[in-house]
Amino acid sequence: MRYLVRRLEFFVVTLWAALTLNFILPRLLPGGPEVALLTRFHGRIQPATIKSLEVALGIRNDQNAIQQYLSYMGNMLRGDFGVSLGFYPQRVSHVIMLALPWTLGLVGTATLIAFLLGTLIGILGAWRRGGILDSVLPPIFVVTSAFPYFWIGLICILVFAITLGWFPQAFGNSSEVTSELSWTFISDVLWHSILPAFTIVLTSIGGWILTMRNNMITTLAEDYIKMARAKGLSPTRIMFQYAARNAILPNLVGFAMSLGFVISGALLVEIVFNYPGLGTFLLQAVKNEDFSLMQTLFLLITVAVLLAVMVADFLTAWLDPRTRERG
């Protein structure tokens, strides 16, 4: 319990630091959103218009830094991220809610599949070291993981979408299917997600296989494995409860980190497949100098990573009794 409270404290402090940095960084940049708009209109804009823009965008240059900081923190805690400059007059939270489910669904699921599948292959490979599975799968997936994923994505589109025509080339769903909770819509979304998900799994699974396999091999040499064999336990119990459960511990934090980065989307995969997720929106935000959206997305990524690390800590505490007391 003490351990959990400590992890929670750590989370709160880092979150505060991230929020504060997020406040300071854009203010270190010269100019501001209104200046950016001004240059976009090549200065052909009335000072009065700038004033009204400032009001509309919530830019309060009359406040000092402390006042700005306090109202910023208040807004952040209330979940008020302001108005998107690129999708004006949409609110940033609205824009993000449009994209978030797509990214979570696609990248989240794909990351989870890659981790679970990679871990399982790593376990089985190490268990029968030098066996057929061990000499075929790890090398293949390590090679595929070495390719850049946008390249794999493009090849997938070329082969499976254009040449064979099995899967759609782009987007999250077909335009003729209405967004509703029906089987047609769900299967359409799944159908669209297969190629990008496959791309993500193919390019990230190698790392999981390698690390899990290595951890497993180290663990299998431990005395408690020998002891488990001596006790006459069943091979499956030795493999999972004695070996894998110990071997997976170092991988949990890495997995949590990668889950955290799900929010930033597999940026290039989403762009290659024109997927309506956060990655695509982040690119849009950068193109449009949409500071409020960018800032919120970066904040979201930070929070997601922090949350994921905290969850990993809890998970580790649950799986490894030794960490519970270390605190």
Least CB distance from residue 320 to another protein, whole Å?
6
- Which one, 16 or 318, has the nearer CB to another protein? 318
- Which one, 61 or 234, has the nearer CB to another protein? 234
Beta strands in the chain (DSSP E): none
Under a CB-based contact definition with an 8 Å cutoff, are residues 53 and 37 in contact?
Answer: yes
Under a CB-based contact definition with an 8 Å cutoff, are residues 289 and 298 in contact?
Answer: no
* Rounded distance between C-alpha atoms, residue 12 and residue 29, angstroms: 27
- Which one, 30 or 232, has the nearer CB to another protein? 232
155 token code pair: 């090849």
Least CB distance from residue 164 to another protein, whole Å?
45
Q: What residues make contact with another protein under the rule CB under 8 A? A: 221-224, 226-234, 237, 241-242, 245-246, 319-322
Give SS3 for 199.
Answer: helix
Least CB distance from residue 252 to another protein, whole Å?
13
- Which one, 79 or 232, has the nearer CB to another protein? 232
Calculate the CA 324 to chain-centre distance. 27
Under a CB-based contact definition with an 8 Å cutoff, are residues 111 and 259 in contact?
Answer: yes
Least CB distance from residue 322 to another protein, whole Å?
5
- Which one, 151 or 224, has the nearer CB to another protein? 224
Q: CA dist 6 to 255, 310, 321, 324, Å? A: 21, 10, 16, 11
Least CB distance from residue 325 to another protein, whole Å?
8
